[in-house]
Amino acid sequence: MVVKVYGPSYASPKRVLVCLVEKEVEFETIPIDLFKREHKDPEFLKLQPFGAVPVIQDGDYTLYESRAIIRYYAEKYKSQGTDLLGKTIEERGLVEQWLEVEAQNYHPSIVNLVIHILFAPAQGLPSDSKIIQESEEKLGKVLDVYEERLSKNKYLAGDFFSLADLSHLPFTQYLVGAIGKDYMIKSREHVSAWWDDISNRPSWKKVLEFGAPF
Ligand SMILES: N[C@@H](CCC(=O)N[C@@H](CS)C(=O)NCC(=O)O)C(=O)O
Q: What is the mean pLDDT of each run of 10 residues along the chain (214 residues)?
A: 96 98 98 97 98 98 98 98 98 98 98 97 94 98 98 98 98 98 98 98 98 92
CB 173 within 8 Å of CB 11: yes
Q: Which atom of ligand 1 is nearest to the CA of 67?
A: 19
- 192 in Cβ contact with 147 (< 8 Å): no
176 vs 171: CA distance, rounded Å: 9
> What is the distance, to the nearest Å, from the Cα of residue 64 to the centroid of all Cα atoms in its chain?
14
Burial class of 190 by CB neighbour count within 10 A (0 to 12, 13 to 18, 19+): middle
**Domain 3-81, CATH class in plain words:** alpha beta
How far does the centroid of ligand 1 lie from the alpha carbon of residue 73, in Å? 19
Q: What is the pTM of this model?
A: 0.98
The domain limits of the chain are: 3-81, 89-205
Q: Count the residues in the chain.
A: 214
Where does ligand 1 bind, in terms of residues with CB under 6 Å? 10-12, 34, 39, 51-54, 65-67
**Which pLDDT score is estimated for 1?**
83
User: In this structure, are residues 139 and 147 in contact, taking their beta carbons and an 8 Å threshold?
Assistant: no
Q: Which atom of ligand 1 is nearest to the CA of 40?
A: 17
What architecture is domain 89-205? Up-down Bundle (1.20)
Which numbered atom of ligand 1 lies nearest the CA of 69?
Answer: 20
CB 67 within 8 A of CB 103: yes
For residue 98, how far is its CA from the centre of ligand 1 (angstroms)? 20
Determine the Cα–Cα distance for residues 31 and 53; give it in Å rounded to an integer. Answer: 10
**Residues whose CB is less than 8 angstroms from the CB of residue 151 and which lie 6 or more positions away in sequence, other chains included:** 189, 190
Cβ–Cβ under 8 Å, residues 14 and 170: yes
For 72, other C-beta atoms within 10 Å of its C-beta total 17
Spatial distance between the Cα atoms of 83 and 57, rounded to a whole number of angstroms:
23
Please give the pLDDT value at position 146: 99
Would you state the pLDDT for residue 183? 98
Instruction: Examine domains 3-81 and 89-205 and report if their fold is the same.
Output: no
pLDDT of residue 58: 98
